[in-house]
A and B are shown apart, each in its own frame.
Chain A
């Protein structure tokens, strides 16, 4: 079935970087954009950015410009989100989500299970 499987939980120190992976299966990897969304503990969802697995183009939320990098590896159907200069406020669950297939263009129809990133000294 269509699914996105993310890498495991991470614990990082302030100032470090983290790289989270999201492996797609069950559909043509290059057919749908992938988004990244995060959720701090007890807080709401926050959109971080988008990557086009077909052409590698990206668009990041202004808040994360200069700190986030999204890449993809078509040979393994995997996208990556790297966040640098981590601070405690970056402690959150990070989700990847797929752009909707077919008519569901401007929504996120498949989500990964989430990756908890904890930033602590």
Chain B
């Protein structure tokens, strides 16, 4: 199972919006609405930000939103804040009843 493809880095200024893409295949992203997104600060465990493509767990800011079109899912962060600077990973359930993560995206706040 190959990793889902994400851009290596995305940057934006304070207050701006950015979007991170996550491209897979019809056997994972395109086949199921089970895409999730994780935020990871250096030296810390990942934190769930979005599940089932577009749902936010309790306590996650509504500045984070998710969507999907075909084999590509996206995470949008609006009103970018300094604390949003982190690595972000997507994940998808697959046709093999396993999971696959994305390659990861480093978000830099300018």
Count contacts between A and B, CB distance < 8 Å.
73
Which residue of chain B has its CB nearest to the CB of A106? B34
Taking CB atoms, residues of chain B closer than 8 Å to A47 are: 91, 98-101
- CA A59 – CA B104 in complex, angstroms? 24
- How many residues of B are counted as interface, with CB atoms below 8 angstroms from the partner's CB atoms? 27
A28 near B: Cβ within 8 Å?
no
A114 contact from B1, B38, B45, B100, Cβ within 8 A: B45
Which residue of chain A has its CB nearest to the CB of B36? A107
- CA A74 – CA B81 in complex, angstroms? 42
A9 near B: Cβ within 8 Å?
no
List the 7 shortest-distance A-B pairs measured between CB atoms, nearest first. Answer: A106-B34, A107-B36, A107-B51, A111-B45, A44-B104, A45-B101, A47-B99
Which residues of A are in contact with B by a Cβ distance under 8 Å?
35, 37, 44-47, 49-50, 59, 61-62, 95, 97, 100, 103-109, 111-114
